[in-house]
Amino acid sequence: MSQTLQTALTHAGQRLSGAGIEDSRREARILLAFVLGIDALQVSLRLEETLTAEHSAAFEATLKSRMAYVPMSHILGYREFYEHRFIVTPDVLDPRPETEELVARALSAPFQNVLDLGVGSGCIILSLLAVNSSACGVAVDCSAKALEVARRNAAKLQLTDRVRFCRSDWCAEIPSERFDLIVSNPPYIHPAVWKGLSPEVHHEPKLALTDGKDGLSHYATIAHQAHGFLAAEGRLLFEIGYDQGAAVAEILRKEGYRDIAILEDLDHRPRVVSCRARAEKAE
Ligand code: GLN
C-alpha cells in the first residue's frame, strides 16, 4: 500500500509514542530523512510525495529497531557532539550532552598535549584538538574496537596527524610522556543504578558505563596512575556523576592533587572535577 511521507510520518510518530519513545515525532522525522538520504528539515517540503516500497521497507526496519529501544545513534551511525558529528557504534559509549561540559572546561585554559583516558568514540579529545589546532594528543582505550571507532572519527575530522592511539588499561601501557592536560570520562555508574537505566543504555558497552563496584574505583586508579604522566602545572579533569563530586574530590585530595574544584554545568549540576598536579617532591 503506497503512502505519502506525511501519512508515513504520522503513523510512525504514533507507533514510536505508543512504544514509550518521548520525542517520537522528532525521531520519526529524523529516521525518515535518514532513510531518504535527505536532511530532516527537507522532510517538510516533501510531505505530499509518495514513499517508494523500498524506502517504506527501510523506514519500517528503522522503526522496528527504535521500538526495540536501539539508540538513535546506533540506527543512524552517528551522534552530534560539541561542534562535530561523530561515528558511533555499539562498541563505544554514545556521546552525551553532559560530556560537552568537560570539553568546555578543558578548553578554558591553554594546553599543548592532551591525554584522553578511555577515549571511546574520541568525542572528547577530538573536539579539543579540533578547537586547539596547535595541540596534539594521545587517545587511550582498553577496547581495540573502540579505538577503531576513534581512529575513524579522527580521520573524518582530519586530525589523524595530531593524535596517537594506544591500547592500554588506563596508564599501564602508555608511552612515558608528560601531558599538560589529562581528561577522562571513566565508567562511573554504580552497578545497581546501571541495572535500572533505560533500555537504550543497555545497548551500550557495559564496560564503558559501570565499574561493577561502587562507581568510584576507576577515579582512584586513574588519580593514582596519572601523577607519572602529568606535567608540573598540568590539569586533570574528570567527568563525574552528579552525586560524586565530594567523593572524587576526596580521592584527589588524598592523592595530593592541588586546586581541586567541583564544576557545575548550566543547570547547576556538578559534572566535572578539576585539579592540578601535586607539588613536585624535592629530590
Ligand atoms: N553520563 C553517562 C550516563 O549517565 C555515564 C558515562 C560514564 O559512565 N562515564 O549514562
For residue 188 and ligand 1, the question of a CB distance below 6 A is answered with yes
Ligand 1 pocket: which of 73, 79, 92, 93 to mutate (most atoms within 8 A of CB):
93
Residue ranges per domain, the chain?
5-68, 89-276
Cell reading at 164: 596517537
Q: Quick: pLDDT tens for 58-77.
A: 999 999 999 999 999 999 99
List CB contacts of 254: < 8 A, sequence separation 6 or more. none
Radius of gyration in angstroms for the set of CA atoms belonging to the chain, rounded to a whole number:
21
Report how far residue 138's alpha carbon sits from residue 24's, in angstroms, rounded to the nearest whole number: 39
For residue 189 and ligand 1, the question of a CB distance below 6 A is answered with yes
Give me the pLDDT at residue 69, please.
98
* Region at 217 (left for phi over 0; alpha for psi -120 to 50; beta for the rest): alpha
Q: Quick: pLDDT tens for 88-142.
A: 999 999 999 999 999 999 999 999 999 999 999 999 999 999 999 999 999 999 9
Sign of the torsion angle spanned by Cα atoms 176, 167, 126, 268: negative
CATH no., domain 89-276: 3.40.50.150
* CA-wise closest residue to 69 among 24, 9, 29: 24
Q: Quick: pLDDT tens for 31-61.
A: 999 999 999 999 999 999 999 999 999 999 9
Q: Quick: pLDDT tens for 265-277.
A: 989 999 999 999 9
Fold of 5-68: Helicase, Ruva Protein; domain 3 (1.10.8)
Backbone angles phi, psi at 272, to 5 degrees: -140, 140
Helix, strand or coil for residue 135?
coil
For ligand 1, what atom is nearest to the CA of residue 96?
1
